[in-house]
Amino acid sequence: MLQNLKDKALLTSLKEIAKKRTTQIIVPGVNYIPVTGKVLDEDDILFGVDAVLDGWLTAGRFSVKFERELANYFGSRYSFLVNSGSSANLLAFYALTSPKLGDKQIKAGDEIITVAAGFPTTINPMIQYGCTPVFVDIEINTCNISAEKIEAAITSKTKAIMLAHALGNPFNLNIVTELAKKYNLWLIEDDCDSLGATYDGKKTGTFGDLSTLSFYPAHHITMGEGGAVLVNNNKLKKITESFRDWGRDCWCAPGVDNTCGLRYCQQLGDLPDGYDHKYTYSHIGFNLKATDIQAAIGLSQLKKADYFIERRRQNHNKLYSLFKPLEEYFILPEATPNSNPSWFGFLLTIKDSKLLNRNKLVEYLEAEKIGTRLFFGGNLTKQPAYKDVNYRISESLSNTDKIMNDSFWLGVWPGLNDDHLQYIFDKTYVYIKNSI
């Protein structure tokens, strides 16, 4: 695969440099323990260098191979590489607004079932397009949507369900997919935090019509910035590609012309007969492509995905066993039944906020050089950005508010080991015994 690095002396020198750049030492109590992080090796760096030496830079041979291998990894029909997970969510949602979908086209004013507990770019595309998010409450122990409450939120305006698998823990795909089928709704899985998770033995990301991934350094594999859309509905393949690539009707790869053989002999829209198909646009799209350098690094990372996922599970299990004796103070995370999560973080929810103050606890942990994060935006309806947004709340968001006020999560990424996790627990234990 390394076409440009055949000189043995050069390759050896580059490997030595890359190894120094990717070696990380985190000593508990001495160095800050990040809540997330990337794990790189010399191969990742060398793949990136090889892509640079091609001189092509934009999507090329590595992008083609990455998209193919990513789809194969999931068992998905297609995958499309983009420049971020947020762009992946934008692309997946906008693909469903295509006029080519007829009666199933999502239009401004339609309603989308989702949750307010999570990352904003899961819901931003629907708002930006003029749709109405309909927020359903979550379960505290899984942090996922209360699936049994979804049906009551569905109306004649509902066109889709768009949900993230919270912190790598799958939502109840049995109920959600049944409802999507019953009411003829699109399903978009935000799989950005859950690469490699399974439900009923099948990978998440393959249940929805479309699914999204993120390759930011905090995520399961990384290419720096980057993301992807998995397409499991054959009709959506060309539509998704069009929205990613400026909205054009042509599907030629960069630097390639006349794939269809009809470049100058079509008449589309009100354009003149024979107008260049390469500059004919069937959607109001974007340019969301990634570079081949990103794809090269991602391709190398993908080879290690299963190892990274297993390390996350091991670290999550270790933290669970450590914190189990503190259940009188914390609600511990639970895997959704029938699932095997690919954990993104270890969520702790304080049971009684009169005994423990979440903000003071995380401030203490940060001072002890332990990274923490809240559950992203908490309740997004409380965020200043959404003050004047048109949305609807189904029933109440009491559990969402509980997570917003009393939850935080700790790191489980593969760069952490038992010494780091023991230190995290020990410092938390000391705080609780000194505070209660």
The 10 Å CB-count burial string (b at 16+, else e) for 38-58 is: bbbebbbbbbbbbbeeeebee
Q: Would you call 418 exposed, middle or buried from its count of C-beta atoms within 10 A (0-12, 13-18, 19+)?
A: exposed
Number of other residues whose CB lies within 10 A of the CB of residue 9: 7
Q: Give the strand order in the sheet containing 198-199.
A: 202-203, 198-199, 339-340
**219 carries an active-site annotation:** yes
* C-alpha dihedral (271, 275, 279, 283), degrees to nearest 10: 30
Residue 412 to residues 214, 287, 320, 337, 417, Cα–Cα distance (Å): 17, 34, 11, 21, 9
* Maximum pairwise Cα distance, the chain: 79
Exactly one of 165, 219, 277, 283 is catalytic; which is it? 219
Distance CA 5, CA 46 (A): 8
Distance CA 223, CA 302 (A): 10
Give the single-character DSSP code of 392. E
- CA angle (242, 243, 248) in 5-degree steps: 45
In 3D, which of 233, 206, 192 has the Cα closest to residue 87? 192
**In what helix (H) or strand (E) does residue 408 lie, and over which residues does it extend?**
strand 407-411
Report DSSP letters for 269-320, one per residue: TTSPTT--GGG-BSS---B-PPPHHHHHHHHHHHTTHHHHHHHHHHHHHHHH
Contact 173, 150 (CB under 8 A): no
Catalytic (active-site) positions: 219
